Amino acid sequence: MSDNLLFAEEISENTPKDQLGKHKPWKVAVVDDEEQVHSVTKLVLRNFAFDGRGLELLHVYSAKEAIQLFRDQDDIAICLLDVVMETDSAGLDVVSQIRDDLHNSYTRIVLRTGQPGQAPEENVIKNYDINDYKDKTELTNLKLHTLVYSCLRAYRDIISLNQTRKGLEQVIHASNNVFHHRFTGEFSKGILLQFSSLMQFDDHAVYAVEDGFTAHSDKCGLKIIEGIGKYSHSLGEYLENILPKDILQKLKEQDTPFMSIHSDSCFLASNITDNKESQRNVLYLKKLGEPSTLQKKLLDVFSNNVLTAFQNLYLLEDIEKAQREMVYLLAEAVESRSKETGFHLQRVAELSLLLAGGLGLDKDLKLKIYRSSPLHDLGKIAISDNILNKPDKLTAEEFEIMKTHSQIGHDMILKSERELCQTGRIIALEHHERWDGTGYPNGKKGEEISIEGRIVAVADVFDALSCKRCYKDAWQLDDVFTYMKENSASQFDPQVIETLTTLEADIRKIYDQYRD
Ligand code: C2E
Ligand code: SIN
Ligand code: SIN
Ligand code: SIN
Ligand code: FE
Ligand code: FE
């Protein structure tokens, strides 16, 4: 059996004649050194059909040829096998090869011999894994038909069971692979890719996995999130402009959480959460052939599974989005008190993201830093107006009070287990630590300071210098870069400053874009 997923060919016994050509014939190997046996077998089995499929006789004349035939082809249903050929037991060697060396336990093997005394029936059946044993003279027209029928029926059922088992294993495997993805975009691609491995068929593709998409509802309707093949350029398009009317109608009428459509041209699965149209996800694949009942069931199980997970990811993204909005609202409320309006928070976030990227941090950490950097000065909420907005230099005493904003910001979000808050409180605590250990609040040094803290420290000072504060004027960007470089390895992590230097062009773009 090949490693590809094979599904059962569940073709009913009364498949219309005109579809016969569509299905492969059953392969029957005739292994015999007497030409006459071949011609008689051919004659007797002409016009034979089972399950709407005819026979393909494969004629070989020795054990050696037979072994080669079974090496080359793993989908032979029956082997009608002569015992005495090159040697007295050549046929029995073929049985050992098929079963033990090729590990083929599917082919139905029937021994045929002209010399019944040569290989005692009982002994052979016991010692060799064969399915039947016939005297050549027994194989009259009717008996051979009956034998081939029963062998094919057994072969079909064995293959079918095996394919069902493999199909279910594949569904579980595919689902697990898909669940690894965290973001809906990647997840959609994962679904479509897994479908392609799920749909590797024996001889013909039932679904065109090269054409398909996933869709998610927004205010205006169902929109394509990810597409492959023909739909790879359809991202953002609405399904009402793409799908045929009858399918759209069925989608409208959906009254169960999960629905699948196996139409002539496609497979479509749709799930709705809480009967809310705004929470619908769709999976679509173009169809080529006619799937079996088993294939349909497996597709339903798989798509129901992944669409539910898909929905959960959307809900999580909603939560994360709400959280990001909260972070900004909170940070902006603080910022507005100190009259440092404008784009300070956005620029610090963009700078931090650039630096994190330039330092090669992984995507997850980059995003966390980007999203939680606005929390760095949260603690300033506790600093009184007369200090916070003092137009002059702070006294030493006032500066001591000002310095408490790091610890206060950290403590304010200490209790939150949200990821953004966990990163946010580290940044709040450490954004005024210095590489040489002379910063505050804890005088941490070098890599004792988290990479998040070291990055935001650079971004925060860079932006504080480049724009106007109540106590200072804006600096020219050239002067800011000079200051940053001069304080590399004393105030700042030298690696972060090196990265800042290489990113000068991108940084200037940020300052063009977010001008106060
Ligand atoms: P901030 O305004 O957000 O400034 C953040 C950091 O940028 C400062 O941290 C400092 O490292 C750097 N920075 C800002 N302006 C200058 C500058 O003119 N020269 C230099 N060399 N560095 C500058 P730092 O010093 O720990 O201050 C923390 C916060 O304390 C500041 O946040 C600001 O809110 C306040 N602050 C600091 N100095 C003064 C001041 O003289 N007057 C007033 N009213 N507030 C001050
Ligand atoms: C499985 O084998 O079922 C899961 C393995 C994977 O998700 O990669
Ligand atoms: C959450 O805990 O709700 C999500 C955490 C996050 O990624 O922000
Ligand atoms: C924390 O409280 O989340 C840890 C802050 C630190 O890095 O010290
Ligand atoms: Fe600060
Ligand atoms: Fe700041």
Domain boundaries along the sequence of the chain: 17-163, 181-314, 338-513
Q: What is the pLDDT of residue 185?
A: 64
Q: How far apart are CA 371 and CA 423, in angstroms?
A: 9
Would you place residue 324 in the very low, low, confident or very high pLDDT band (cuts 50, 70, 90)?
confident
Q: How far apart are CA 191 and CA 228, in angstroms?
A: 11
Question: 3-state DSSP helix/strand/coil percent for the chain, to nearest 5?
Answer: 55, 15, 30
Contact 195, 298 (CB under 8 A): no
Q: What is the pLDDT of residue 164?
A: 65
Q: SS3 sequence, 334-395?
A: HHHHCCCCCCHHHHHHHHHHHHHHHCCCCHHHHHHHHHHHHHCCHHHHHCCHHHHCCCCCCC
What is the three-class DSSP state of 35? helix
To the question of domain 17-163 being in CATH 3.40.50.150, the answer is no
Question: Which residue is catalytic, options 27, 366, 368, 380?
Answer: 380
Assess whether 380 carries a catalytic annotation.
Answer: yes
Would you place residue 121 in the very low, low, confident or very high pLDDT band (cuts 50, 70, 90)?
low
What mean pLDDT comes out for the span 427-448?
Answer: 98
CB-ligand 3 contact for 418 (6 Å cutoff): yes
What mean pLDDT comes out for the span 11-39?
Answer: 70
Which of 114-123, 146-155, 307-316, 407-416 has the largest mean confidence? 146-155
CB atoms within 10 A of CB 12: 9
The first and second tokens of residue 209, run together, are 């996995």
Q: What is the pLDDT of residue 7?
A: 34
- Nearest ligand 4 atom to alpha carbon 410: 2
CB-ligand 4 contact for 426 (6 Å cutoff): yes
Q: Which helix (H) or strand (E) holds 23?
A: none
Q: What is the pLDDT of residue 177?
A: 59
Q: How far apart are CA 198 and CA 173, in angstroms?
A: 9
Superfamily of domain 338-513: Hypothetical protein af1432 (1.10.3210.10)
The more confidently predicted of residues 60 and 191 is 60
- Mean pLDDT of all residues belonging to the chain: 83
Least confident of 120-134, 178-192, 364-378, 417-431: 178-192
Per-residue pLDDT at 338 exceeds 50: yes
Q: What is the pLDDT of residue 26?
A: 94
Rg for the chain (alpha carbons), in Å?
36
CB-ligand 4 contact for 199 (6 Å cutoff): no
What mean pLDDT comes out for the span 489-496?
Answer: 98
Per-residue pLDDT at 406 exceeds 50: yes
Would you place residue 178 in the very low, low, confident or very high pLDDT band (cuts 50, 70, 90)?
low
Least confident of 115-124, 157-166, 223-232, 389-398: 115-124
Q: What is the pLDDT of residue 167?
A: 62
Q: What is the pLDDT of residue 277?
A: 60
Q: What is the pLDDT of residue 21?
A: 42
Would you place residue 228 in the very low, low, confident or very high pLDDT band (cuts 50, 70, 90)?
confident
- Nearest ligand 2 atom to alpha carbon 179: 7
Total-model pTM: 0.54
Contact 245, 280 (CB under 8 A): no
Pocket test for ligand 2, best of 5, 177, 178, 306 (most atoms within 8 A of CB): 177
The more confidently predicted of residues 504 and 264 is 504
In the reported structure, the alpha carbon of residue 420 is separated from the centroid of ligand 6 by a whole-number distance in angstroms of 18
Which residues in 221-230 are b (16+ Cβ under 10 Å) and which e?
ebbbbbbbbe
The more confidently predicted of residues 27 and 331 is 27
Q: Which helix (H) or strand (E) holds 256?
A: none
CB atoms within 10 A of CB 274: 8
Q: What is the pLDDT of residue 323?
A: 76
Kindly identify the ligand whose nearest atom is closest to the C-alpha of 466. 1
What mean pLDDT comes out for the span 152-181?
Answer: 69
Would you place residue 6 in the very low, low, confident or very high pLDDT band (cuts 50, 70, 90)?
very low
Per-residue pLDDT at 15 exceeds 70: no
In the reported structure, the alpha carbon of residue 358 is separated from the centroid of ligand 1 by a whole-number distance in angstroms of 26
Pocket test for ligand 4, best of 375, 410, 411 (most atoms within 8 A of CB): 410
CB-ligand 3 contact for 324 (6 Å cutoff): no
Contact 381, 368 (CB under 8 A): no
DSSP state at residue 188: H
Per-residue pLDDT at 182 exceeds 50: yes
Q: Is the fold of 17-163 the same as that of 181-314?
A: no
Per-residue pLDDT at 479 exceeds 80: yes
The more confidently predicted of residues 428 and 378 is 428
In the reported structure, the alpha carbon of residue 505 is separated from the centroid of ligand 4 by a whole-number distance in angstroms of 33
- Nearest ligand 1 atom to alpha carbon 475: 18
Closest CA to 110 of 141, 74, 65, 146: 146
Q: What is the pLDDT of residue 58?
A: 97
Contact 167, 145 (CB under 8 A): no
In the reported structure, the alpha carbon of residue 416 is separated from the centroid of ligand 3 by a whole-number distance in angstroms of 10
What mean pLDDT comes out for the span 449-469?
Answer: 96
The more confidently predicted of residues 465 and 255 is 465
In the reported structure, the alpha carbon of residue 376 is separated from the centroid of ligand 5 by a whole-number distance in angstroms of 6
What is the assigned CATH class of domain 181-314? Answer: alpha beta
Ion ligand 5, residues whose Cβ is below 5 A away: 377
Per-residue pLDDT at 27 exceeds 60: yes
Residue nearest (by alpha carbon) to ligand 1 atom 10: 461
In the reported structure, the alpha carbon of residue 190 is separated from the centroid of ligand 2 by a whole-number distance in angstroms of 13
Would you place residue 453 in the very low, low, confident or very high pLDDT band (cuts 50, 70, 90)?
very high
Which of 32-36, 210-214, 492-496 has the largest mean confidence? 492-496
Would you place residue 187 in the very low, low, confident or very high pLDDT band (cuts 50, 70, 90)?
low
Q: What is the pLDDT of residue 431?
A: 98
Pocket test for ligand 2, best of 5, 168, 173 (most atoms within 8 A of CB): 173
Residue nearest (by alpha carbon) to ligand 1 atom 25: 432
Q: How far apart are CA 281 and CA 259, in angstroms?
A: 11
What mean pLDDT comes out for the span 155-173?
Answer: 70
Kindly identify the ligand whose nearest atom is closest to the C-alpha of 464. 1
- Nearest ligand 3 atom to alpha carbon 371: 8
Q: What is the pLDDT of residue 457?
A: 98
- Per DSSP, helices labelled H in 47-140 are 63-72, 90-96, 121-127
